[in-house]
Amino acid sequence: MRSELIFYFDFSSAYSYIAQARIDAVFADVDADIRWRPILLGAIFRENGWVPVSPGSPKGDYTFRDVERTARLAGLEFGWPKIFPFNGMLAARLFYALDSVDAVAFARAVFHAAYVSGQDVTNPAVLEGLVGDLGLDCAAVTARSELEEVKARLRDETTAAMKAGVFGAPSFVVNGEVFWGADRMTDARDWAASGGW
Amino acid sequence: MRSELIFYFDFSSAYSYIAQARIDAVFADVDADIRWRPILLGAIFRENGWVPVSPGSPKGDYTFRDVERTARLAGLEFGWPKIFPFNGMLAARLFYALDSVDAVAFARAVFHAAYVSGQDVTNPAVLEGLVGDLGLDCAAVTARSELEEVKARLRDETTAAMKAGVFGAPSFVVNGEVFWGADRMTDARDWAASGGW
């Protein structure tokens, strides 16, 4: 049976960066339709009354260190963006302004820019440069990203994620079953491959 | 190099139940001195201003479901205690009243009673029964568990865990490096085996 996998992520989630770098390899042998869906984790946190972990708190310090060692173990280049967390809204709107193949390529480019090249992906000029690098029409895509239907799409995808049970990023929803965390991607893969257990 | 591994757990942590069932197998090929250390997660939560996840919240519902499917995947018998979370203080004091070999056997017995047999391990009579089943002198062990030095030991181990950077259970501290979560036990093992990365 072909599985449906929704990959929910936020550009301002370092574990999402790790997940997107590994997702194709992890799911290589699984018959799955992988749908990339950026969401706004900030909206989900507000809904739940949470605040992001911060350096200086035990969980914050752990998380920052764990992201770095997890990236290192996975052989990934990684550097913290100068401002973190950042607002991934503009990047997410551009994602939904693109068709799906270009959108995934754009998402990968945004993650690389933010976590490898040290670029500010909240800056519209940086984002337009990434769109241009894909050989696309920057002006047309940017104009489309500002349409109410595209803004609504991002809100609707975030709401759909919450309705599916998502509360953090990255999350993987496999045929309706939620797995949370880059470290649970292999469980999501096994669930897809086996039909559940 | 022989590694030092501290396994911090709370009896009222279902993921700790999963971890203790798998820890010997996961670390079988690693030269490590595994020290079991029950702590009071409630004290750590109070210190951080947190409340445990509860059913009915998105993260709570996810956690309850994830514990069940994770136990199933690991081939472990598992049932939720009638009252959960519960107070693991008496069990933890009895642990520290025992010498180390008996203490680990007692901890395993407490986890089995709570998550497999459906016994109330906050009940002193149940706990004394578990001590007796190990062929130990219930009255002497119980009396020792009520000594101020044993009560202080439990507080001190909880404080030591926090100083090491622990904020949740189970956690594994390998030569000073913290790994949080039953799903990170293999990372802890690889860290011990490789000396870090």
Q: What is the pLDDT of residue B101?
A: 86
DSSP state of A183: G
- The residues in B 130-149 lying below 8 A from A, measured between CB atoms, are none
- Does residue B167 belong to the interface with chain A, where contact is any CB pair within 8 Å? yes
ipTM over 0.90: yes
Phi (first) and psi of residue B2, to 5 degrees: -70, 130
Terminal alpha carbon distance of chain B? 15
If you average pLDDT over every residue of chain B, what do you get?
A: 96
Per the model's pLDDT, the better-predicted residue between B169 and A100 turns out to be B169
Report how far residue A193's alpha carbon sits from residue A189's, in angstroms, rounded to the nearest whole number. Answer: 6
Percent of chain B surpassing pLDDT 90: 92
Q: What is the pLDDT of residue B166?
A: 97
Q: What is the pLDDT of residue A53?
A: 84
Measure the CA angle with vertex A119, ends A117 and A125; round to 5°: 135
CB contact under 8 A, B162 and A58: yes
> Nearest-CA distance from A163 to chain B in Å?
9
Q: What is the pLDDT of residue A52?
A: 83
- Does residue A180 belong to the interface with chain B, where contact is any CB pair within 8 Å? yes
Phi (first) and psi of residue B8, to 5 degrees: -90, 130
Is the CB of residue A67 less than 8 Å from the CB of residue A14?
yes
Q: What is the pLDDT of residue A56?
A: 87
Q: Given B48, B58, B168, which is nearest A48 (Cβ)? A: B58
Of residues A14, A31, A21, the one with CA closest to residue A80: A14
Q: What is the pLDDT of residue B90?
A: 98
**pLDDT band of B100, cuts 50, 70, 90:** confident
Q: What is the pLDDT of residue A3?
A: 92
Report how far residue A35's alpha carbon sits from residue A122's, in angstroms, rounded to the nearest whole number. Answer: 23
Instruction: Identify the segments of chain A with pLDDT beneath 50.
Output: none
Report how far residue A40's alpha carbon sits from residue B58's, in angstroms, rounded to the nearest whole number. Answer: 16
Report how far residue B49's alpha carbon sits from residue B51's, in angstroms, rounded to the nearest whole number. Answer: 7
pLDDT at B1 over 80: no
Q: What is the pLDDT of residue B23?
A: 98
The per-residue DSSP string of B150-192 comes to HHHHHHHHHHHHHHHT--SSSEEEETTEEEESGGGHHHHHHHH
Q: What is the pLDDT of residue B110?
A: 98
- Does residue A165 belong to the interface with chain B, where contact is any CB pair within 8 Å? yes
Q: What is the pLDDT of residue A116?
A: 98
Report how far residue A48's alpha carbon sits from residue A60's, in angstroms, rounded to the nearest whole number. Answer: 18
pLDDT at B136 over 90: yes
- The string of pLDDT tens digits covering residues B18-59 is 999 999 999 999 999 999 999 999 999 998 888 888 888 999
User: Which of A59, A177, A190, A197 is the best residue to mutate to test the B interface, defined by the most B CB atoms within 10 Å of its own CB?
Assistant: A59
- The string of pLDDT tens digits covering residues A6-45 is 999 999 999 999 999 999 999 999 999 999 999 999 999 9
**pLDDT band of B172, cuts 50, 70, 90:** very high
